Amino acid sequence: MINPMVVEGPIAGGVVRGIGGVLCESAVYHDAGNPLTGGPVASPAAVFNAVADALAPPGVEFRSTRLGTRQVLDALAAAAHSY
């Protein structure tokens, strides 16, 4: 028999770490898609893609995998100025 606490703890920790990676870590890419920052960055694609997809209709584009408040607001402002 498996103790549920032994399974649930690592799952919760992994989720929190993944969300923290998107909100706090940064990977910047060149227009051609080449990484400008070195080293691996742990950022779960699902969270980033969900935010990027939700903001795509008004023309918001992200050039970084960091999704802090400032990056989202700057992307929204840039999309508003392009109309």
**83 residues of the chain, pLDDT tens digit each:** 888 888 888 888 888 777 776 666 666 777 887 767 655 544 567 778 888 888 888 888 887 777 778 888 888 888 888 76
pLDDT of residue 18: 73
Measured CA to CA, the distance from residue 38 to residue 26 in angstroms comes to: 10
**What is the per-residue pLDDT for 27?**
65
- What pLDDT, on the 0 to 100 scale, is given for residue 26? 64
61 to each of 45, 52, 57, how far by Cα in Å? Answer: 15, 7, 10
Of the candidates 80, 77, 79, 83, which has an alpha carbon nearest to the alpha carbon of residue 60? Answer: 79
Give CA 38 to chain center in angstroms: 17
In this predicted structure, what is the pLDDT of residue 83?
Answer: 64
**Sequence spans of domains, the chain:** 4-81
